[in-house]
Amino acid sequence: MIYDKEKYKIWNWKSPVILHWIINPGLVINELILGQTIPKVMLIEREGDKPFIQRSLIPCPHCGELHSGLKYSAQNKTAIKNWFGFYCDKCTKIIPVQRNLTSLLVLIMTFPIWGWFRNSLKQSWLDKQPERYKNLNLELVTPQMTTKNWLKMGLAWGLFMYLTMVFIFPFIMQEEITQKSMLIGIPIWLIGGLGFGFTMKIWMNKKAR
């Protein structure tokens, strides 16, 4: 599809927020367990001083509708459980999403397990969608995210990932937990956590130029 570049800034995999979504390995949890995801293409309104989420639009490639970012947000309880993509409530099709690299690898490796149920899982997910988009509030009610908030959120997420990947995961796999993996894990999940928190901050309140 062709979008108005004068009016919108176009985000795809080359933009930092979506690129971060692809690279940060911890997002496998957000994506596969929570069903949090990011669209392949986003349009950001260049003009206006509305918070970022209100200026970010998610285009549906099937019907051309430009959905407000608030349609898929925590305040509408639609930010998660989007395992198959973003549901377009106009044409009932699915807006394609950008997969995280780690989730993609996990999905490929576990395909023999879930592949059999793929169609029935997708259909039952699809059947539940119209109900979720019936009573949307597209006015922003979520407060802006402060520096303290995003740092706390990022660090909490990083700590959770550190404990999961360094201790819980090796324990389940019956692998040895070494001092080396404990040390290497610190910078990785510190950076991963800050990246996550910072992306969420941009997402929540970036202002137009």
Number of residues that bind Zn ion (CB under 5 A): 7
Pure H helices in 133-174 = 147-162, 169-172
- Which span sits near Zn ion by CB under 5 A: 21-29, 60-68, 97-105, 166-174? 60-68
Instruction: For the CB of residue 59, give the shortest distance to Zn ion in the complex, in Å.
Output: 9
Neighbours of 200 (CB within 10 A): 17
Say if CB 18 and CB 12 are below 8 A apart: yes
Return the range that interacts with Zn ion (CB under 5 A); candidates 3-11, 27-35, 37-45, 86-94. Answer: 86-94
3-state secondary structure of 188: helix
Based on the shown chain and the rule CB under 5 A, indicate whether residue 96 belongs to the binding site for Zn ion.
no
Using CB under 5 A as the binding rule, whether residue 94 contacts Zn ion is answered as no
Return the residue matching tokens 């549901």.
87
Q: Which of 50, 62, 81, 206 binds Zn ion (CB under 5 A)?
A: 62
Give yes or no for residue 88 binding Zn ion (CB under 5 A).
yes
Closest CB to Zn ion among residues 90, 128: 90
Distance CA 51, CA 28 (A): 27
Tell me the Ramachandran region of residue 48: left when phi exceeds 0, alpha when psi lies from -120 to 50, beta otherwise: left
CB 17 within 8 A of CB 203: yes
Convert residues 109-138 into a mask of x (bound to Zn ion by CB under 5 A) and - (unbound): ------------------------------
- Interaction between residue 191 and Zn ion (CB under 5 A): no
Interface residues with Zn ion (CB under 5 A)? 60, 62-63, 65, 88, 90-91
